[in-house]
Amino acid sequence: MLTAILIMALGAVILGAALGYASIKFKVEGNPLVEKIEAILPQTQCGQCGFPGCKPYAEAIAGGEEINRCPPGGQEGVRKLADLLGREVKPLDAEEKPKQLAIIDEQTCIGCTLCIQACPVDAIVGAAKQMHTVVSSLCTGCELCVKPCPVECIRMEVIEESIDNWKWKYPVIELKRVA
Amino acid sequence: MFQLFKFKGGVKPETNKAVSVTAPIAIAPLPAQLIVPLHQSIGGMPRPLVKAGERVLKGQRIGDPDKWISAAVHAPTSGTVVSVEERIASHPSGLPTLSVVLEPDGRDEWMERAPLDYASLEPERVRERLRDFGVVGLGGAVFPSHAKLVAAKAVPMEELVINGAECEPFMTCDDMLMRERAEEIVRGVGIFRDLLAPKRVLIGIEDNKPEALAAMRAAVQIVGENFEVVAVPTRYPAGGAKQLIRVLTGKEVPASTRSPEMGVQCFNVATAYTAWRAIAHGEPVLSRIVTLTGNVEQPRNWEVLLGTPLRDLIALGQPKADTTGYVMGGPMMGFEMPSLEAPIVKATNCIIAASPTLFPPPAPEMPCIRCGACAQACPHELQPFELYWFARARNFGKTQEYNIFDCIECGCCSYVCPSHIPLVQYFRFAKSEIWAREREKNQADAAKARFEFRNEREEREKAEKAERLAKAAAAKAAAAKPASEGVSAQSVAVTDNTAATLDPEAIKKATIAAAMERAKRQRESVQPKNTEGLTAAQSEEIAEIEARRTPLQKPTDQGEENSAPAIEK
Amino acid sequence: MNFTSPPYLTQNVSVQRIMLKVLAALVPAIAAYVYLVGPVILVQIGIASVACLLAEAALLKLRDKPLALFLGDGSALVTAWLIALSFPPLAPWWLVVVGSLFAIVIAKHLYGGLGQNPFNPAMIAFAVCIVSFPALMSQWPPVDMGAGVGEQLALVFGHAPRIDAMNGATPLDALKTALKLGEGHTSVGTIMADAAVFGRVAGRGWEWVAAAYLFGGLWLWQQKVISWHAPLSFIAGMAVLAGSLWLWDPQQFASPLFHLFSGGTLLGAFFIVTDPVSGCTTPKGKLIFGGLAGALAYVIRVFGGYPDGVAFAVLLLNIGVPLIDLYTQPAIFGMKGRKP
């Protein structure tokens, strides 16, 4: 009886010590969860989630905010977040849109610079009273520049499939059809 | 006896080569229209050099190489450019690509051709010549050859391997080229040899091509070179560059390494031929040998102008009635041509007319039973069934752990699979998904970095402005005390409004107004505008816009300061 | 345009052909069985086949899979035949049916059907039945029990009382029991000389069935349906362990040859550990898998309470397959001797 108790006690002490050691040795600084969440978010900085940028939204998610607020991330993004956080996959809280690109109609642009101020990633170049243009490789398609334009010269265009971004499709399994 | 090495795996499909080697190479007639895609090689998309309506000569450059890894594109014959527009590409996607549509005038009038005495030139100039004459790997990969003709700095070049193996079934274009134009191939190999200075030159040809072997040996004799022409065992994919290097040199070049880093480089025989034509005759790559075979009445090899629509080529072979489609490349690695309008390009080594009897429709896909036949057949010694498992589950991280990028998509695994699983399709799918994700990740990272930088900059500017204003206020306050009446004209209004209290808000406004005035004057006097030299109509339009702008002037003022950094970048 | 993806050529191979070859390789052993025990084995094979195919059909229907395609693949038949051959030949029909249903429904389809089962279905059937009905599963008739076909069928279909003559255990069991009873005073040699159940090297008659498995297995290897790794290492694993103990004390431990030709050793070596679905796939992994299974089978059959250990050994090793495969991934082209 006594031996049994002693053995159990010893086991508890050893395991407790091991856990204590591990918590010191493998201590994690900062909040890696926010970083992991942010890595999944598409970094469009569009604010469609209601937060000013991807990082604030990541912080909010870590604090319990819904994971389905990010339209550019799409359902795929919701799924990844659900995977990471062990939460349930929810339908996206908005319409899923294909990836877009802002295009400034250079004939109409009056050079007001409002869009330049709106762009979260400095993807629009131009100066006051000079024509502006979108650097398409930097544009995240966030649409933040569309509203501020006083002459409505900015439109969003869906990025079309081209030979450069074409992808091989998932092979179709045709078992049913054969049967 | 030359010592050969073995590569693991591989398969031995029915070769079906005999039918297309009975007749010599024939010159395909000039089609009514040529569609020359600008992007015919790996690397940068060449920039178009011609416009619709322009007359071009045969051999005239119509696409200028973009960046180092790129190759020029030329007019295959003389004629008139009809348009430069998007046309369907010879690509499995069936998507369009920018192409020069050319209407031949039938005169086939050459531009001025000048042979190059390459021995007296810097190697760099020779490489440039090859790039500007559109010499790319004609084995099917179309990698610009000049970029491969650089030896590694630290590793001496030991072997130059010339690939005449042609392991794909049905395909005989290299075989025929070696039979008929062996001497020029050997001379081309000589150029590569001179640029790379390897210790040995090995020409590998599968032993099912005795005529080509004999022709090449004879040519080596005639030219007086010491190249070794080696018969390699017939086994698909012996003609894969890495497999042939392995067989001839014993070296295994992994996917992560460039072959010059292991002292070896590999070129296709047809590439050597075009390199010789480019250097010694001043002829850019305008045509190539294409095997037209399969379900046609007259299988044979044709020398076809690049840009010839598929429709014109297949008419020469008279496809049989039950032909269901056309495969570009071999039956193991080729793809179905998306349209009869798609053109013959530098990568088109073979066109196979397909029929249900020739290529039976795939049997239904069964579950993988992990029999391991694919692993035994894989020439890169991968575990295809594991890759399949992960690719199917879209677990792309795992596919990379199992070396999916070492897969050369040779199709051996699918060929032997008892469950008829389209393994290669799964791998291609996984690879392109990984690439797409990589692109997205890079874009997201860049966006994040720019966003953070922008935030930082705004913070900094705010701080700087506050500081500046504080300083200005202090200075003003100091100046205002002794002479309160001597305020500048512009700030009179301000002082009036604020009843001489000179609060910071008023000073700020005044400073902005002054700065704007200065800036405006300066800009008007110095800076050129993109609104100069316009037509009357455009000026009118601008005036109209300016009129519309006036009410918006307020917010714009605020913007001017913020916009400046955006231009700097 | 009706063809899809390259390669457009394929070898003339299919799952069905592989399974048919496995069935063909079992034919010599079945022939030996029929000669030695009688045609009752054919009845058992029939019962198992019908049970497996019906279960397979029902499950495929439930899972909404194409019936003809999967029933025709022959995998259910292979399971059925292996069950019939590993069960006692005079086992009552319902026992075979229970085993078959368990194999197909639980061990195969609940895990996802063909290609997805982590455990060998036939071995699951054997293990479940021997745990649930140990007495029935241990009754192996001596080869010349003298019962006619009618009598045998009556036993299978439960119309006759299970006579005492049937209680003749397997040679393995007989040896183990005798050694235990002898409490160290007897030796393997005397036991084998005394009892009628023993033959030249192992169980009388049964050694010939074992030899037929060996023959069929070698043919499968020659046909490239199986690789040599797993069978050889399985045999080696058992032989090395049996051999060392036999050398240490030949009185108490039977010779490796006895063990190779007894029980399910050769059936296991060529038809069970070579199962690609539940076994290892890398060459090194196959060697480890086979060797450990062979050794474990020996340990269980000699020191354990069950008449044979092949089924348990294989099932235990099945658990370790993913791990073994993970750690035995072969070096790929160009990466041999390099750190990836």
Is C69 at the interface with chain A, CB within 8 A? Answer: yes
User: In this structure, which topology does domain B362-477 adopt according to CATH?
Assistant: Fumarate Reductase Iron-sulfur Protein; Chain B, domain 2 (1.10.1060)
Is pLDDT at A178 greater than 50 in this prediction? no
Residue tagged 């009410």 (tokens): B551
User: Do residues B58 and B109 touch, judged by C-beta distance below 8 A?
Assistant: yes
pLDDT exceeds cutoff 90 at B543 = no
**pLDDT (mean) for A95-103:** 84
In this structure, are A147 and A125 located in the same domain? yes
| Distance from C-alpha of B207 to C-alpha of B213, rounded to nearest angstrom | 8
A179–C65 C-beta distance less than 8 A: yes
Interface membership of A171 toward B (CB under 8 Å) = yes
Mean pLDDT of B156-175: 94
- pLDDT of A62 strictly over 60: yes
Which range is least confidently modeled, B24-38, B64-78, B127-141, C153-167? C153-167
Q: Tens digit of pLDDT for each residue in C223-256?
A: 999 999 999 999 999 999 999 999 998 888 888 9
With residue B205 as reference, give the H or E element that holds it.
strand B200-206
- Kindly tell me if the per-residue pLDDT of C312 is higher than 60: yes
Q: What is the mean pLDDT of residues B364-391?
A: 93
Rounded Cα distance between B386 and C325, Å, is 10
- Cβ contacts of C66 on chain A, cutoff 8 Å: 175-176, 178-179
Q: How confident is the model at residue B507 (pLDDT cuts 50, 70, 90)?
A: low
- Does A148 share its domain with A105? yes
End-to-end CA distance of chain B, in Å?
A: 65
pLDDT of residue B515: 64
What does the alpha-carbon distance between residue B107 and residue B124 come to, in Å, rounded to a whole number?
35
Which residue of chain A is at minimal alpha-carbon distance from C71?
A179
Per-residue pLDDT band at C3 (split at 50, 70, 90): very low
Residues 59-118 in A contacting B (C-alpha not used; CB under 8 Å): 107, 110, 112-114, 116-117
Q: Residue A54's pLDDT is what? A: 87
| Whether A71 and A108 share a structural domain | no
CATH code for the domain in which residue A73 is found: 1.10.15.40
Q: Return the H-helix or E-strand segment holding B304.
A: strand B300-305
**In this complex, which chains have at least 3 CB pairs below 8 Å with chain A?**
B, C
DSSP code, position B508: H
Closest C-chain CA to A175: C66
As a whole-number percent, the residues of chain B with pLDDT over 90 amount to 69
Best B443, B523, B552 residue to mutate vs chain A (most A CBs within 10 Å): B443
A71 part of a folded domain? yes
Task: Check C5 against A176: CB less than 8 A apart.
Answer: no
What is the helix (H) or strand (E) element at residue B203, kind and residue range?
Answer: strand B200-206
More confident residue, C187 or C319: C319
CB-based contact (8 Å) between A179 and chain C? yes
Confidence of residue B223 (pLDDT cuts 50, 70, 90): very high
Looking at the fold, whether A75 and A114 belong to one and the same domain comes out as no
Among B145, B333, B345, B358, which residue's Cα sits nearest to residue B239?
Answer: B333
Are B70 and B44 in contact, with CB atoms under 8 Å apart? yes
- Residue B183 — very low, low, confident or very high, per pLDDT cuts 50/70/90? very high
Confidence class of residue C277 from pLDDT cuts 50, 70 and 90?
very high
Split into its structural domains, chain A has a count of: 2
Greatest mean pLDDT range, A106-120, B496-510, C93-107, C178-192: C93-107
pLDDT at position C11, please?
A: 87
Smallest CA–CA distance, residue A162 to chain C, in Å, is: 21
Contacts (Cβ under 8 Å, ≥6 apart) of B503: none
Q: Which residues contact B532 (CB under 8 A, 6 or more apart)?
A: none
Rounded mean pLDDT, C69-95: 92
Identical topology for domains B18-28+120-350 and B362-477: no
Give residue B563's pLDDT. Answer: 40
Is residue A68, in this structure, part of any structural domain at all?
A: yes
Residue in chain C closest to A174 (alpha carbons) equals C66
Q: Does domain B18-28+120-350 have CATH number 3.40.50.11540?
A: yes
List the chains bordering chain B where 3 or more Cβ pairs fall under 8 Å. A, C
Q: Which of residues 151-170 of B touch C (CB under 8 A)?
A: 169
Mean pLDDT value across residues B545-564 = 52
**Triad B127, B132, B136: Cα angle to 5°:** 75
Output the pLDDT for position B243: 94
Mean pLDDT of B251-274: 93
Position A76 scores a pLDDT of 84
Cβ pair B369:C276 closer than 8 A: yes
Q: Which CATH number covers residue A106?
A: 3.30.70.20
Chain B residues in contact with C325 (beta carbon < 8 A): 386
Dihedral (CA of A160, A162, A167, A169) sign: positive
Q: Do C68 and A171 lie within an 8 Å CB cutoff?
A: no
- Asked if A85 contacts A122 with a C-beta cutoff of 8 angstroms, the reply is no
Examine the domain organization and report whether A80 and A105 are in the same domain: no
Give mean pLDDT, residues A67-91. Answer: 86
CA distance C238 to C250: 16
Cβ–Cβ contact B361 with C under 8 A: yes
In chain A, which residues have their Cβ closer than 8 Å to the Cβ of C68? 179
Q: Taking Cα atoms as reference points, which of A83, A103, A10 lies closest to residue A40?
A: A83
Could you read off the pLDDT of A126-158 as tens digits, one per residue?
888 888 899 888 888 888 888 888 888 999 988
Determine the Cα–Cα distance for residues A139 and A122; give it in Å rounded to an integer: 9
Which of the other chains make 3 or more beta carbon contacts under 8 angstroms with chain C? A, B
Q: Across the B/C interface, how many CB contacts are shorter than 8 Å?
A: 149
d(CA A2, CA A10): 12
* pLDDT at res. B499: 45
The single-letter DSSP state of residue A161 is P
C11-56 residue pLDDT tens: 888 999 999 999 999 999 999 989 888 888 999 999 999 999 999 9
Q: Map out the domains of chain C as residue ranges.
A: 14-168, 186-322
pLDDT at site B505: 64
The domain limits of chain B are 18-28+120-350, 362-477
pLDDT at B434 over 60: yes
DSSP string, B519-551: HHHHHHHT---TTSS--HHHHHHHHHHHHHHGG
Local confidence band at C69 (pLDDT 50, 70, 90 cut-offs): confident
HEC secondary structure over chain C: CCCCCCCCCCCCCCHHHHHHHHHHHHHHHHHHHHHHCCCHHHHHHHHHHHHHHHHHHHHHHHCCCCHHHHHCCCHHHHHHHHHHHHCCCCCCHHHHHHHHHHHHHHHHHHHCCCCCCCCCHHHHHHHHHHHHCHHHHHCCCCCCCCCCHHHHHHHHCCCCCCCHHHHCCCHHHHHHHHHHHHCCCCCHHHHHHHCCCECCCCECCHHHHHHHHHHHHHHHHHCCCCCCHHHHHHHHHHHHHHHHHHHHCCCCCCCHHHHHCCCCHHHHHHHHCCCCCCCCCCHHHHHHHHHHHHHHHHHHHHHCCCCCCHHHHHHHHHHHHHHHHHHCCCCCCCCCCCCC
Q: Does B413 touch chain C (CB under 8 A)?
A: no
Q: pLDDT class for B560, splitting at 50, 70, 90?
A: very low
Mean pLDDT, rounded, of chain A: 85
Mean pLDDT score of chain B, rounded to an integer? 87
Nearest CA in chain C to A177: C66
Which residues on adjacent β-strands are paired with residue B74? B61
B430 and C CB contact within 8 Å: no
B475, burial (CB in 10 Å: exposed 0-12, middle 13-18, buried 19+): exposed
| pLDDT tier for residue B428 given thresholds of 50, 70 and 90 | very high
The answer to whether residue A53 neighbours chain B at the CB level (below 8 Å) is yes
- Give this prediction's pTM: 0.84
Does residue B316 carry a pLDDT above 70? Answer: yes
The answer to whether C68 contacts A175, with C-beta atoms less than 8 Å apart, is no
> Residues 116..145 of A with a Cβ closer than 8 Å to B: which?
116-117, 120-131, 138, 140
The residue of A41, A137, A143, A170 whose CB has the most chain B CBs within 10 angstroms, and thus the best one to mutate to test that interface, is A170
Q: Which residues of C are less than 8 Å from A175 in CB distance?
A: 65-66, 69
> What span, in angstroms and rounded, lies between the C-alpha atoms of B70 and B136?
9
B277-294 pLDDT, tens digit each: 999 999 999 999 999 999
State which residues form the domain around A144: 98-159
Which residue from B454, B559, B569 is facing A120, i.e. has the nearest CB? B454
The mean pLDDT value of chain C amounts to 87
Is a pLDDT exceeding 60 seen at residue B502? no
